[in-house]
Amino acid sequence: MMINEKFKIQASCTDDFDSEAITVSNARQRILAKINPVSATEQSALYQSLNRVLAQDIISAMNVPGHTNSAMDGYALAGDDLPQTAPRQYKVIGTSFAGRPFNDQCHAGQCVRIMTGAAMPAGTDTVVMQEHVEKITETEIRFAQGHRKSQNVRQAGEDICKGSIVLQKGHTIQAADLGVMASIGIGDITVYRQPRIAFFSTGDELRPVGDTLGTGDIYDSNRYSLHGLLSQLNVETIDLGIVKDKPEDLREAFKNASEIADLVITTGGVSVGEADYVKQIVEEMGEINFWKIAMKPGRPITFGKLGDAAYFGLPGNPVSVMTTFYQFALPAIQRLSGQADRSPLTIRVICTSDLRKRAGRFECQRGILSYNESGQLTVCATGKQGSGILTSMSRANCLILLDDECDGIEAGDSVTVQPFGTYL
């Protein structure tokens, strides 16, 4: 990466660097090590199973296709009986339809009219497409040389072989998987129970949408962003509303949440301000694993345990909530769901903006991926990157991930981006 002198900034004792802060990847590893996937399973009707996580290997009891069949509308015959040097005439002895096979034997000099998907009749292994055939009478056709034995035929088991593992335990079921399982006749499957995730916002200044704001009040937007993020996932959500910065209220909310959920997520109250009680209370009631991460925007964040439930205390700033969700909560939730571990999709693209960044911490800047005139995928910054500027997240379709060592990007440099939203 090019060193960008224009934006190179030296760390000073007055900035927010913290020598005790741990790296993002270290934090993620520590979190994942503490997450116990939900082990309870349940039966799920195939039709209702999109996005659920398989708790069993899916093994096929049959071949797909179940019988060797035609890939074209045309005429089936023996490949050894194809014309070699000059056009030849054949007798049409019957028709094989999809679902209505032709049951007699086909011999040399003969062929069978065949439709796409129809079973290949005995004595045939090759299909000549109808466009290549000249029809002489209802029962006689002619076509030229130049065809290949076995052409236009789908072999039994060519998609799925009987006895093979089609989908593995831990796989998240996609649209095509529903079709694949249906194609082998499976209508009910065993999946992991969805994790239950309880969340609430903390802050005396927060008012629910619909209320009138007093001086210094703000609407609680974090709960809406979180609701949106969680609703895209395979989880059950429990919205516990707004909780005041009062130790008794927080204790009560944490107790309630940890009894009903596998994971509790809160926003706000985790810094070291006078009204920030979250850390202290979680420490009292459970266990806190770490506290400071070298990441912007995003620190401080808290991860811990409340009884059997895992706990994330995300920052209060609306952008930080979303960036820390993508970096930490999302992989944790995927693990909790029983999904096989996988890295998020990231892409290297050309950045068309200059980006300010200081070395020593990881940054998630908001980016817009788009195609330039030559059809190449590029990313530009959304503009102001403050952690309170939630519209930057709204305009963005990816996070630009800048690692600890990076000390600025000049337009034209390559950067790594993590698409989100519909690409998740």
For ligand AMP, the closer CB: 317 or 323: 317
Distance, in Å, from the CA atom of 90 to the CA atom of 92, rounded to the nearest integer, reads: 6
Position closest to ligand AMP via CB = 316
**Do the strands 287-290 and 302-306 form a parallel or antiparallel pair, or are they unpaired?**
antiparallel
Scanning residues 205 to 244, which ones bind ligand AMP (CB under 6 A)? Answer: 205-206, 218, 220-223
> C-beta of 283: minimal distance to Mg ion in Å?
18
Q: What is the residue type of 326?
A: Y
Distance, in Å, from the CA atom of 55 to the CA atom of 189, rounded to the nearest integer, reads: 8
318 binds, among Mg ion, ligand AMP, none (CB under 5 to 8 A by kind): ligand AMP
Distance, in Å, from the CA atom of 26 to the CA atom of 101, rounded to the nearest integer, reads: 62
Q: What is the residue whose two structure tokens read 């969680």?
A: 230
Please report, as ranges, the residues that interact with Mg ion according to CB under 5 A: 203, 268-269, 316
For position 23 contacting ligand AMP by CB under 6 A, the verdict is: no
C-alpha 165 chain-centroid distance:
22
For ligand AMP, the closer CB: 68 or 271: 271
DSSP lists the bridge partners of residue 277 as none
Look at phi and psi of residue 408 and say left if phi exceeds 0, alpha if psi is from -120 to 50, else beta. Answer: left
E strand or H helix at 30, and its extent?
helix 24-34
For ligand AMP, the closer CB: 121 or 297: 297
For position 123 contacting ligand AMP by CB under 6 A, the verdict is: no
237 binds, among Mg ion, ligand AMP, none (CB under 5 to 8 A by kind): none
For ligand AMP, the closer CB: 206 or 415: 206
- Sort 21 into a burial class: Cβ within 10 Å, 0-12 / 13-18 / 19+: buried
Distance, in Å, from the CA atom of 24 to the CA atom of 36, rounded to the nearest integer, reads: 20
For position 392 contacting ligand AMP by CB under 6 A, the verdict is: no
For Mg ion, the closer CB: 250 or 349: 250
385 binds, among Mg ion, ligand AMP, none (CB under 5 to 8 A by kind): none
Distance, in Å, from the CA atom of 114 to the CA atom of 117, rounded to the nearest integer, reads: 9
Q: Which of 421, 420, 403, 400 is nearest to 411 (CA)?
A: 400
Out of 101, 268, 331, 360, the residue judged to bind ligand AMP by CB under 6 A: 268
For position 273 contacting ligand AMP by CB under 6 A, the verdict is: yes
Distance, in Å, from the CA atom of 41 to the CA atom of 98, rounded to the nearest integer, reads: 39
> What is the secondary structure of 395-423 as a DSSP string?
H-SEEEEE-TT---B-TT-EEEEEE-GGG
For position 191 contacting ligand AMP by CB under 6 A, the verdict is: no
The span of 262-270, 325-333, 340-348, 349-357 binding ligand AMP (CB under 6 A) equals: 262-270
For ligand AMP, the closer CB: 270 or 336: 270
For position 298 contacting ligand AMP by CB under 6 A, the verdict is: no
Angle, helices 247-260 vs 278-285, to 10°: value is 50
Q: Which of 137, 142, 146, 166 is nearest to 59 (CA)?
A: 166
For position 302 contacting ligand AMP by CB under 6 A, the verdict is: no
> C-beta of 224: minimal distance to ligand AMP in Å?
8
271 binds, among Mg ion, ligand AMP, none (CB under 5 to 8 A by kind): ligand AMP
Count of residues engaged in binding ligand AMP, rule: CB under 6 A: 19
> C-beta of 8: minimal distance to ligand AMP in Å?
29
Q: How much helix, strand and coil, in percent to the nearest 5, is found in the chain?
A: 20, 30, 45
The span of 65-73, 135-143, 264-272, 395-403 binding ligand AMP (CB under 6 A) equals: 264-272
Point out which residues bind ligand AMP (CB under 6 A): 201, 203, 205-206, 218, 220-223, 267-271, 273, 315-318
